[in-house]
Amino acid sequence: MEFASKGSWLSEGGPEADVVMSCRVRAARNLVGFPFVARASDAERHELVHIAKQVVLDSELGQEMIWVDLAKATSRDRQLLVERHLISRHLAEADMPRAVAVSEDETLSIMINEEDHLRMQLIAPGFRLAELVEQIEKVDETLEQKTDFAFSSRWGYLTACPTNVGTGIRLSVMMHLPALKLTNEIERVRRAAKDLHLAVRGYYGEGSESAGDFYQISNQVTLGQSESELLEEFVQVVLPRVIDYEHQSRKILVERNTNLLDDRVHRALAVLRSARLLGAEEAMKHLSRVRLGIHLRRLQDVQLDVINRLLLQIQPGHLQLHIGADLSPDRLREARANVVRKALR
Amino acid sequence: MKCDICNKPAVVHEVTVKNGVTKEIHLCKEHAEEAGVAMPTHQPINQLLTQFVMSQGGQSSESSRKSCPGCGTTFSQFRQTGTLGCPECYDAFEEQLAPLIERAQNGATHHRGKVPKRAGDSLDRTVIIRQLTKELDQAVTAEQYERAAELRDRLRHIDETPASPQITKQAKRKAKRPPKKD
């Protein structure tokens, strides 16, 4: 599998990039005339992959899409796609006919036979939800010209799980909240999110831990609210609030806890520069603090884009791609420390 | 973060947005209990299902056995897995699903978003194809070959009018299916 050297959504800053790492919009759709994926036979799943391939590649999008048959892809390639946030872990690990279409610039991916027949997703760096919602509508309409999606006038787009029914749209924002974590105020975000019916998840979404103070905030309600109302709530209410919480905490750190802040930031950089063995979680934690240090101008000689790139390069799939072989956990820690040391020299 | 009333650390944080005005409440455990602040938590569908089934009492066993005409999934299977079998399940289990969805979706009962341009067309088509293939199956099983041929022609006619690939494929597959041997 050919890949650019970096995930496009990690490369540029984008608006509010000190707190908002990236934004994602996902739409769940199912084809008329088939059972949902879990209930479908293997023959039907094969047929779904076949039809989806035709629909996607024959559409206007076809030209820029790369088709990956995930049942045939190596586990290393699948891991790479997960690390790039182009497929879910669930899809990577499933044992059935399944595929993904990825745009050349890695902003759009269409997963086939995830929980729903099609899950289309757009991802971009920084705070760009509005653009993404507009784009996903276009993708949806382009595919709709070639196929029929299951829809009912009462429930909207019909999905395998009723928690996605309606618009089938999930907005999620990856936020970097190190100051809220350092000041033990992260619970405040969790509670506020809960009240607004939002989910707070870890770096890789559902079921994952919040590695390196990165949190994904997404809507849980998909029914009874139009796409634009949902977007407005996110853009006007939810995100500014969380960004503001984090900024307040950063200000408190700089003004009242300078020593603690500088200790954490410089200590993190020192570990990254000298470690010979680095676990993924440990690396994420320190990179997160260095990232904070850069944004608060506590560190002068480290570039933000180096740190952003490292966040991806230290993941197991990317390390293995870099080395060109499958690595044992010990060798992975060693390779990770080498990559980090070299980048921060 | 401290409690709005005393100086103890707040454990309950409530943010409400009403008419664009945001109100925040932060309370310690004691004052939260005193104020009777209940946290509206979002429950996973499985939990909702268990609670729902329990609240239905004896009535649930009968409705649990009902199966979807589209895929054969029963409501109790849905309860176990949390996922439905096919789009038709929404119709088949509408009565049982409606209160569940309402709770999982923060009180929403109807879709208010985008409508696909071909929705009406595709819905009608699916219903017709489903009905015709069902009748075709019955005719073949009962060895009513004249009737079966007629139904096959009607399906073929739908086949010839422009439609999405999967509907015609589905119809073809069903029309070609050999008679069931009991």
Hey, which residues does A120 pair with through a beta bridge?
Answer: A27, A110
DSSP one-letter code for A31? B
Identify the pLDDT of residue B153: 79
Identify the pLDDT of residue B181: 42
Identify the pLDDT of residue A320: 92
Contact at CB, A167 and B86, closer than 8 angstroms: no
Above 60 in pLDDT, residue B169? no
Please give the CATH superfamily to which domain A9-225 belongs: Glutamine synthetase/guanido kinase, catalytic domain (3.30.590.10)
User: Which of B177, B179, B135, B178 shows the shortest CA–CA distance to B154?
Assistant: B135
The answer for A 83-122 residues in CB contact with B (under 8 A) is 115
Above 60 in pLDDT, residue B170? no
Give the integer Cα–Cα distance in Å for B123 and B113. Answer: 18
Identify the pLDDT of residue A82: 92
Identify the pLDDT of residue B156: 77
Q: Which of B43, B111, B158 to substitute to test the interface with A, most A CBs within 10 Å?
A: B111
Q: Which of B25, B75, B86 to substitute to test the interface with A, most A CBs within 10 Å?
A: B86
**pLDDT less than 50: residues of chain A:** 1-5
ipTM of the predicted structure? 0.85
Identify the pLDDT of residue B126: 62
Q: How do residues B39-59 score in pLDDT, each as one tens digit? A: 334 445 555 554 544 444 444
Query: CA–CA distance from A233 to each of A100, A236, A272, A345, B47 (Å)?
Result: 30, 5, 39, 43, 27
Strands B12-18 and A65-69: unpaired
The answer for B 74-133 residues in CB contact with A (under 8 A) is 81-87, 90-91, 97, 100-101, 104-119, 121-123, 125-126, 129
Identify the pLDDT of residue B47: 53
Contact at CB, B16 and A153, closer than 8 angstroms: no
Q: A156 CB near a chain B CB, below 8 Å?
A: yes
Q: How do residues A289-325 score in pLDDT, each as one tens digit? A: 999 999 999 998 899 989 989 999 999 999 998 898 8
- 3-state secondary structure at position A302: coil
User: Distance between the two ends of chain B, CA-based, in angstroms?
Assistant: 70
Identify the pLDDT of residue B57: 42
Identify the pLDDT of residue A2: 44
Identify the pLDDT of residue B85: 96
- Half-sphere exposure of residue A131, counting CA atoms within 13 Å on the CB side? 13
Above 90 in pLDDT, residue B141? no
Give the mean pLDDT of chain B.
70
Residues forming CATH 3.30.590.10 domain(s) in chain A: 9-225
Q: Which residue of B has its CA nearest to A49?
A: B166
Contact at CB, B115 and A151, closer than 8 angstroms: yes
Domain map of chain B by residue range?
1-40, 45-104, 117-174
Write the DSSP assignment of B47-110 as a string of letters. HHHHHHHHHHTTHHHHHHH-B-TTT--BHHHHHHHSS-SSTTHHHHTHHHHHHHHHHHTTT--S
Contact at CB, B86 and A148, closer than 8 angstroms: no
The dihedral formed by the CA atoms of A252, A253, A258 and A260, expressed in degrees to the nearest 10: 140
Contact at CB, A36 and B84, closer than 8 angstroms: yes
Please report residues of A whose CB lies closer than 8 A to that of B167: 32-33, 148
Identify the pLDDT of residue B116: 84
Q: Which of A29, A39, A184, A219 to substitute to test the interface with B, most B CBs within 10 Å?
A: A39
Q: How do residues B48-88 score in pLDDT, each as one tens digit? A: 554 544 444 444 556 667 899 999 999 999 988 999 999 99
Please report residues of B whose CB lies closer than 8 A to that of A36: 83-87
Q: B167 CB near a chain A CB, below 8 Å?
A: yes
Contact at CB, B15 and A144, closer than 8 angstroms: no
